[in-house]
Homo-oligomer: A and B are copies of this chain.
Amino acid sequence: MEEQKVTPISRLGEFGLIDHLTRDFPLQHASSVKGIGDDAAVLDYGSKKTVLTTDLLIEGIHFDMMYTPLRHLGYKAVVVNVSDIYAMNAIPQQITVSLGISAKFSVEALDELYEGIRLACKIYGVDLIGGDTTSSLHGLVISVTAVGEADADALVYRNGAKPGDLICVSGDLGAAYLGLQILEREKRIYMEHPGVQPELNDAQYLISRQLKPEARKDVIRFFKEVDLKPTSMMDLSDGLSSDILHICKQSGVGCNINESAVPVSEDAYQTALSFNLDPITCALNGGEDYELLFTIDEQDETKISAEEAFTIIGQITEQDNGCFLVTKSGNRHALKAQGWVHF
């Protein structure tokens, strides 16, 4: 086996490292007037609206270096941000990436991280235009800010849902959470029995949903094609239960979610049972699926009903109704917000 090259970051120095990491990110957008290399990037949006979002990822909280390949981590750091831009019905255009790096990382490790960032930039069509690279005492910190653009009348906020609207999601839910459970289980086994090879082959789908999620660029494109503007939308990062509550709170409405309609993949369903977890609870509270949750006017139902990508999971109600999960047997359970579980 060829020995892997390990270059200490100190060999390049701060400015050398930044030049090295950002050397192969050609600007793709006319709106990227000036990218990396000055005090600030310069953007030109003419008459469009500019959309801006940011996410902070911290080692030990958002990712575990033991089972997270750096390439996937770089990719995911971009995806979670562009997902927020799509959730505004806008198109991502630029990102900045700031890194806090501890001494354990080599230049080659950071190259891998940037390979993932580069791939995401290509796939989602965004320009890397800036950032800040610094050292950290403890592990890796990644802060990504994404900028998008949209016509003013295309933007979809969280506050536009109205009674009678249909509640829809793209894709299926709970898989990312179950992928994490598998990775955590294999980590525990490895810690106790370092010789044992992890059993991950059967769980490719769930693990990829956790380590390398995709943002639903295709959904935004589809909305444009069929001339559908959701009344509200957000991306599913915290979990359906928390996220629909944000929409209900901001729109001043209630909701009924039909338990039997919530889309869960067969893989996720079986894996949940093998962990003695309720599949629906995983779908409601798991988070990190980066699917789109949106509401549409009832009259628009025909625009999406033929599409496999979407599931209608419930309906918006008057605020007095409250926010409920309705089970197959007709029981109603109040939906609860989850935040972090770290404190």
Q: Give A contacts to B, CB under 8 Å.
A: 8-10, 13-17, 33-34, 37-47, 49-56, 58-62, 83-85, 87-88, 90, 94, 96, 98-100, 103, 129-132, 134-139, 141, 143, 145-148, 152, 155, 157-159, 233-235, 242, 250, 337, 339-340, 342-343
Contact = CB atoms under 8 A, between A and B. Distances in A.
A8 B17 CA distance: 39
Nearest to A44: B49
Contacts of A46: 47
Contacts of A234: 38-39
A52 B129 contact: yes
Contacts of A157: 34, 38
A99 B55 CA distance: 10
17 contacts: A13-B337, A34-B157, A38-B234, A42-B52, A42-B155, A46-B47, A53-B130, A56-B100, A56-B134, A58-B134, A58-B137, A60-B137, A62-B134, A96-B145, A138-B138, A141-B141, A143-B143
Given A14-B339, A343-B8, A136 B58 contact: yes
Given A39-B235, A50-B43, A90-B40, A99 B135 contact: no
A151 to B, nearest CB: 12
B51 A40 contact: yes
A50 B61 contact: no
A47 to B, nearest CB: 7
Nearest to A9: B343
Contacts of A84: 39-40
Contacts of A88: 38-40, 42
A233 B40 CA distance: 11
A141 B58 contact: yes
A134 B56 CA distance: 7
A250 B52 contact: no
Nearest to A97: B54
A44 B40 contact: no
A141 B52 contact: no
A225 to B, nearest CB: 22
Contacts of A152: 44
Contacts of A235: 39
Given A42-B51, A42-B88, A98 B56 contact: yes
Closest 4 CB pairs of A and B: A14-B339, A135-B342, A40-B53, A143-B143
Contact of A43 (B9, B49, B138, B145): B49
Given A42-B88, A50-B50, 13 more contacts: A8-B343, A16-B339, A39-B83, A40-B85, A41-B53, A43-B52, A44-B49, A52-B147, A58-B141, A59-B137, A60-B138, A134-B342, A137-B138
